[in-house]
Structure 1
Amino acid sequence: MGKIIMLVIVLLAGMGQGMQAAVNGTLGKRIGSIEGAFVSFFTGTVMLLVIMLIWGNGSLSTVWQVPKWNLIGGILGAIYVFIVILAVPKIGVTSAITAVIIGQLMMSVIIDHNGWFGNEAIHFTYKKMIGLVLLLAGLYFVFSDKH
């Protein structure tokens, strides 16, 4: 798959995360935050089961052979969904997603710089620092506009 097509797919996935935050925030207000996170993950699990049964070509049984730290992704995802469900009704979708994106980028530069989790080290530069500072300034303006 071409890099441009992959970039567009990832952009669409990001748009989906924005929708997910809004939908889950409303769900959490109606049924409870933890319950909303559970329902979100349960319906997502069912959908992934169907997709796996139709298109899966890996080996699910080998999950027991991977390093245990490879399994924390689901835990981190559940924590993310729960926190967004809590945050969206209080600070709005835009502020929540802006903060999420900045948090993702901050952790990403740390992971890249150190080459953690089997990734090639990509060093932190002053340009990246300026970009993060500008993003934090953007969060300030996005958040302060609502409050």
Structure 2
Amino acid sequence: MKWLYILLSLVGGMLAGLQAPINGSLGKKIGSLEGAFTSFFVGTLFLTFVALFFGKGQLVQLLQVPKWNLLGGLLGAVFVTITIISVPKVGAAAAILAAIVGQLVISMVIDHFGLFGVPKIPMNMNRLFGLLFMLAALFFIYRGNAAS
């Protein structure tokens, strides 16, 4: 059954891959920060609707969460802004792959130490080789950009 979550994550990654060039195009037309704001505003409108009709009604619990739990939105805003700036310069594939490699590096550190309450999964050779292959992929994709 865990494969379903892998498939769901794959779809999420494809959506992020679509989001990058769409936001990059928006940023070129109206400005990077304005594009990021617009992207988050549209997302906020969508999530407001979804939360109102399908949410668990636990928003009051927001007052009880550790303050660092609120950093996700800030980190997301920075990520989207960086993507809006990067995609027009290096292309969607290189920008997204670089972001994925960055996510993979920090995720492996988080897994290794079991940070933020995730299961502790130690670094091993399989994981290290996977990361090295991703770095190699980034090198070749970026190098392919220079050739065109």
Shorter-chain TM range is over 0.9
Gaps of 5+ in 1: none
User: Which 10-residue stretch deviates more, 26-35 or 127-136?
Assistant: 127-136
Alpha-carbon distance, 1:16 to partner: 0.5
2:145 matched to which residue of 1? 146
What is the TM-score of this pair, normalised by structure 1? 0.96
Query: Which residue identity lines up with residue 13 of structure 2 in the other structure?
Result: G
1:72 matched to which residue of 2? 71
State how far apart, in whole Å, the 2-side matches of 1:124 and 1:89 are. Answer: 35
- Whether 1:41 aligns to 2:40 is yes
- Call closer, same or farther: CA 1:8–1:88 in 2, change over 3 Å: same
State how far apart, in whole Å, the 2-side matches of 1:70 and 1:56 are. Answer: 18
1:23 matched to which residue of 2? 22
- Whether 1:135 aligns to 2:116 is no
Total equivalences in the alignment: 146
Deviation per residue, 1:8-39 (Å, 9 max, x gap): 22211111000000100000000000000000
1:32 matched to which residue of 2? 31
| Superposition map of 1:54-93 within 5 A | 54-93=53-92
Query: Which residue identity lines up with residue 54 of structure 1 in the other structure?
Result: F
Query: Which residue identity lines up with residue 91 of structure 1 in the other structure?
Result: V
State how far apart, in whole Å, the 1-side matches of 2:120 and 2:10 are. Answer: 24
Identical aligned residues as a percent: 47
Alpha-carbon distance, 1:118 to partner: 1.3
State how far apart, in whole Å, the 1-side matches of 2:27 and 2:83 are. Answer: 10
Deviation per residue, 1:97-128 (Å, 9 max, x gap): 11011111100000000111112211001221
2:107 matched to which residue of 1? 108
SS in 2 for 1:121: coil
State how far apart, in whole Å, the 1-side matches of 2:91 and 2:82 are. Answer: 13
Alpha-carbon distance, 1:73 to partner: 0.3
Structure 1 segments (4+ residues) deviating >4 Å? none
User: Which 10-residue stretch deviates more, 132-141 or 79-88?
Assistant: 132-141
Deviation per residue, 1:15-74 (Å, 9 max, x gap): 100000010000000000000000000000000000001100141011011001111000
